[in-house]
Amino acid sequence: MESYKCGACEVAIGPEGCAIRAKGGAEMLRFPLDVEILPLGAEADPGMPVSFEARDTPRERVWTASYETRAWAKKEVEVSIDGGVLSVRATAYARAGDHSFRVSRVRYGKPFVALPEKLFSPRFDWSRGTVHLGPEQGDELSCQQWFSPPPFFYGLLGGSEWYGAGIVAGKGEWNFVSFAWEGGEAPSFVLDYEGHAGGSASFRTPSLRFDLSGYGDEFAALEAYTGGLAAAGAIDRPARPIPRWWREPMFCGWGEQRLRFRMEHGGSELGSWINAGDYSSESFYRHSLGVLESRGVNPGIVVIDCFWAEESSRARPNPLRWQDMRGFIEEQHGKGRKVLLWYSPVLAEGLPPGACMTVGGRRVAGDPESPEYREIVSAEIRAMISGDDGCLNADGFKIDFTQNIPSERGVFRNYLDTRRNIISERPEDNYPPLGSRDGLVRQSGLAWGCELVRAYIDAVRGPMKRAKEDSLLVTHTANPRLADLVDMLRLNDMDGTSPDVLGIMGARAKIAKACNPRWLIDTDNDLMVNKDMWRRYLALQPSLGNPDTYYATGIAASGEHFDAGDYELLRRVFAGHRERIAGETEGS
């Protein structure tokens, strides 16, 4: 095996595999070079080595290993060292005339023999902020998580320093649903394409890049990974003007909706939090804002949460809940406020079949690559955002439930033709996983996984910005591939039980800033476990991003009501935040 210095590590590479020694000399990783590219329907397809050669380029040392496999005419694995980065990728070539293959999964290094001491997973977790796991444990970074998706990166602890293992793909090539660490007896890194890749003469995997420079903590390693993506041109993180109003304190009515529903239903949401959507009404928001105003609390951004619309994909407000939404929004504008609308582009409710992805002819979600979807959604978004006659004149969107994108075998396989199915686990509301039905999800384009999330966000952003240039797009898609489409990243909800709110939300903010340091942060704050935790988190919020209260009168989880001290705290936090941003000018 040849030995090389790579960053802070020593790397040995030969036909038998790759071994990495961390700073200090301890072996951190050892794995075979073979990359398994598994066709749909195959259980395993290990490669038999045929040849191994090394060469130098002007900037890299490159090794190429060729393999024979059952599924492919030829497979080549390329390993390279460039400075402190070691990269692994593979190309599979189809047999003559066989261009119909579909790629199920890609496994790198199966099995890893030497393992890091610990892994860091930068994902959303209900009860932990910084998620660490032992190398024997499995973990998944998935589009079907509440950070949808999180960055496709794992931190690796070797000795006293952190290193990184992250996916690098070209633009348009992030068509996988998840990047996972498959622990157990044969650990490996896995990309899951679910059959939505292939169909040509060859298939080339993204690169699995090991950053071996060594960092003092796991978040520094994550920042280096996303910065490397930007430097390589794999993502865009453009600098844009930031209207001053985007920095304003926020009131989102969702937590208050939950509190009100529980108060009027014996402390329960009757088995589904979606029931609280019935309180997204004009009278409710007028009352909630009136309470805040009477206590001297003045949010600069108001979020009207789900489900304000009669049909979730359409701009018409529910006539039983909203008598004059345009009038309400104009009233808030008159008070110096901006108004965001809750919207989920995945929902098929109100869309015709031609604008939807389907399974067995039934709508499962909107299809963002369908020309019919684009035409309809563009017109509806204009009707929500434009100030023209007959439009609502809102100022942007809070995008939600992008984790519910279609999947062949994921957690969420919901028929989203009705909003009630958005979290349903009833068998009759979920389409069967691949293997229990014929064919893949039917769609008009090729985007899947992360690229599908991107297609949804792009379908919203374009018409929104055309209707109102300074409109604000808020999502919970904490992945650097989405950096150029998102204005503000929301940290998302708590579960109403965890006591470590400050640690959890602080870690989420670090993940978001690592993905794109230019994103603004909506700090969110539902569900707080009790009023004391709400107060403590409210005080922390300005150091993370925009302060945001989901409550006007009390806390949903505990049922506690606000007193004079709580409103005084809200006034003080909002005023302090405004003082901090007062020196910032439009476009700064």
Task: Please report, in tens digits, the pLDDT of each residue of the chain (588 residues total).
Answer: 999 999 999 999 999 999 999 999 999 999 999 999 999 988 899 899 999 999 999 889 999 999 999 999 999 999 999 999 999 999 999 998 787 889 999 999 999 999 999 999 999 999 999 999 999 999 999 999 999 999 999 999 999 999 999 999 999 999 999 999 999 999 999 999 999 999 889 999 999 999 999 999 999 999 999 999 999 999 999 999 999 999 999 999 999 999 999 999 999 998 888 999 999 999 999 999 999 999 999 999 999 999 999 999 999 999 999 999 999 999 999 999 999 999 999 999 999 999 999 999 999 999 999 999 999 999 999 999 999 999 999 999 999 999 999 999 999 999 999 999 998 888 899 999 999 998 999 999 999 999 999 999 999 999 999 999 999 999 999 999 999 999 999 999 988 888 899 999 999 999 999 999 999 999 998 888 999 999 999 999 999 999 999 999 999 999 999 999 999 999 999 999 999 998 775 444
CA distance 565 to 480: 40
Could you give the 3-state DSSP secondary structure of residue 542? helix
**Distance of alpha carbon 209 from alpha carbon 80, whole angstroms:** 9
Fold of 249-581: TIM Barrel (3.20.20)
What's the confidence (pLDDT) of residue 585? 54
CB-side neighbour CA atoms (13 Å) of 243: 16
Q: How does 136-149 read in b/e, with b if 16+ C-beta sit within 10 Å? A: eeebbbbbbbbbbb
Answer whether 0.85 is exceeded by the pTM.
Answer: yes
Q: What is the pLDDT of residue 470?
A: 98
- For CATH 3.20.20.80, list the domain ranges present in the chain: 249-581
- Nearest Cα to Cα of residue 14 among 53, 42, 41, 66: 53
CA distance 567 to 3: 64
Residue 586 is predicted with a pLDDT of: 44
Residue found under tokens 């489900």: 307
* Phi and psi at residue 426, to the nearest 5°: -70, 135
What is the structure's pLDDT at 210? 98
Full 3-state SS string of 241-299: CCCHHHHCCEEECHHHHHHHHHHCCCCCCCCCHHHHHHHCCHHHHHHHHHHHHHCCCCC
Q: First-to-last CA distance in the chain?
A: 53
Outline which parts of the chain fall under CATH 2.70.98.30: 2-231
Neighbours of 535 (CB within 10 A): 17
Could you read off the pLDDT of 216-261 as tens digits, one per residue? Answer: 999 999 999 999 999 999 999 999 999 999 999 999 999 999 999 9
Question: What secondary structure does DSSP assign to 202-255, as a single string?
Answer: EEEPPEEEEEEEEESSHHHHHHHHHHHHHHTTSS--------GGGGS-EEESHH
CA torsion sign, 133 to 137 to 140 to 146?
negative
Fold entry, domain 2-231: Beta-galactosidase; Chain A, domain 5 (2.70.98)
All residues at 6 or more sequence positions from 406 whose CB lies less than 8 Å from its CB, including other chains: 357, 364, 365, 413, 441, 443, 452
In angstroms, the CA 157 to CA 372 distance is 48
State residue 87's pLDDT score. 98
